[in-house]
Amino acid sequence: MRTSPSLLSLTIDSAVLNLSSLPDHIVIDLFLRTLRAGKLNERVLKLFIATGKDEVFSLIQALNIRVTVTPVLPTTIKDDEIDIVIGAVCSDLTSFMNEWRLMFSRFHLIIVKDPDMKEELRIPEGFNLDVYEKPDIDQVVGSSTSVLFSGYACRYFGYLVSRKKYIISVDDDCLPARDPKGFVVDAVAQHITNLTTPATPFFFNTLYDPFTEGADFVRGYPFSLRSGVKCALSCGLWLNMADHDAPTQALKARQRNSRYVDAVMTVPTGSLVPISGINIAFDREVVGPALVPALKLAGEGKFRWETMEDIWSGLCVKVVCDHLGLGVKTGLPYVWRTDRGDPIASLKKEWEGVKLMEEVVPFFQSVRLPPEATTVEDCIVEVANAAKERLGSTDPVFARAAKAMLDWVNLWKSVGSISSSSPAV
């Protein structure tokens, strides 16, 4: 039972909504007193910023006050259930790690250095991490198998040795993005939210993710499908340099992605999707072995334009998820992908990947997994055998990919799993 408002409370309520109607000197005084009283939190700071008064901004700058992002994870998830895996293709991770510090520093990190890289890794202090380099990889998997993990694929080694439930992985040339309001996007929290809310692959919801605040299932959505299924993988997006292939980026040299689409959605079952490895997260316990370091282009290089390994891996994951009734989400969070490399140089060097997709997509569209394949490992073996059979003669890269997938499953069984293989949900 609310008591009726007093004149004082009404005045405070209206002032607190909008401080810009107050005279400047009163706003400054309020600001300083709030600071001294130790009551300046993020919400209050935003209120003062919203006044647009220059003196407030000068004070904020002079006192070096910054809006800190406190990652808000779903309360059911503990920090020690998450590993952040970074594949280091660049040697100097200093600015990368510093930019992500607020979001990464409370979690355990696994950094895997590209075994082909000669330079020393440079990593700033203040993180809880394990670093793996070529000798470590050789020791765990044997030097003949370690070739699986060269280049961008080095991160898969991190997936292999992690013992956490959730893994989040971003490329080392990506920084935190800002949303249209100017606030820094907590990619970790968003990925975890995606993974810990159900996916809805059997029927498309026109308001996108029904489990997000302010949204729901629309009229006409069958009730029996509203509990959804477990989300196994969350594919995020990129502002600035979007993940285009070399021909596209070369053609549209100045195009940068500035469109922030405020949505997460489930990719429907039966629909294949190119899952970029630049910004992903997955439930390792549920779907770990399905992320396979398999498709290595003959001319694979150190720019994403020169690889297709993540696309092949993502298609495996989607096919397996569709078979086992798991979900894949796409959309938020965004990361800011920095300009790096020259698409024309990449195009001259490596366009094989673009050509191969013409074979890859019809192959995955035609893969049928038998009902007896009830575990992720079984499914991957089936896909590998199908790839060898149907694509092996088209191009040796596919025969190698099939073998790599089988090697990976074996590795997973011996090194990767801490318990028996993940059952179908």
Which residues would be at the binding site for another protein (CB under 8 A)?
A: 180, 203-208, 214-225, 235, 237, 242-245, 248, 252, 255, 257-263, 267-276, 304-305, 308, 311, 314, 330, 354, 357-358, 360-361
Considering only CA atoms, which of 257, 378, 263 is closest in space to residue 319?
Answer: 378
- 3-state DSSP assignment of residue 260: coil
Residue 235 beta carbon to another protein: minimum distance, rounded to whole angstroms: 7
Q: 127 vs 204, which CB is nearer to another protein?
A: 204
- Percent helix, strand, coil in the chain, to 5, is 45, 15, 40
**DSSP E strand boundaries for 89-180:** 108-113, 128-132, 166-170, 174-176
Q: 67 vs 218, which CB is nearer to another protein?
A: 218
With tokens 């990976």, the residue in question is 408
Considering only CA atoms, which of 202, 207, 201 is closest in space to residue 219?
Answer: 207
Is the distance from CB of 124 to CB of 197 less than 8 angstroms?
no
Residue 414 beta carbon to another protein: minimum distance, rounded to whole angstroms: 31
Q: 36 vs 219, which CB is nearer to another protein?
A: 219
Residue 331 beta carbon to another protein: minimum distance, rounded to whole angstroms: 8
Bond prior to 210 in cis (omega within 30° of 0): no
Q: 245 vs 377, which CB is nearer to another protein?
A: 245
Give the strand pairing for 279-283 and 231-240. antiparallel
Residue 313 beta carbon to another protein: minimum distance, rounded to whole angstroms: 11
Residue 311 beta carbon to another protein: minimum distance, rounded to whole angstroms: 4
Q: 58 vs 365, which CB is nearer to another protein?
A: 365
Residue 250 beta carbon to another protein: minimum distance, rounded to whole angstroms: 12
Q: 40 vs 354, which CB is nearer to another protein?
A: 354
Residue 303 beta carbon to another protein: minimum distance, rounded to whole angstroms: 11
Identity of residue 210: P
Cα(406)–Cα(141) distance, rounded to whole angstroms? 14
- 3-state DSSP assignment of residue 164: coil
Q: 303 vs 408, which CB is nearer to another protein?
A: 303
**CB-facing half-sphere around the CA of 1: CA atoms within 13 A:** 0
Q: 242 vs 286, which CB is nearer to another protein?
A: 242
Residue 133 beta carbon to another protein: minimum distance, rounded to whole angstroms: 28
CA 55 to chain centre: 39
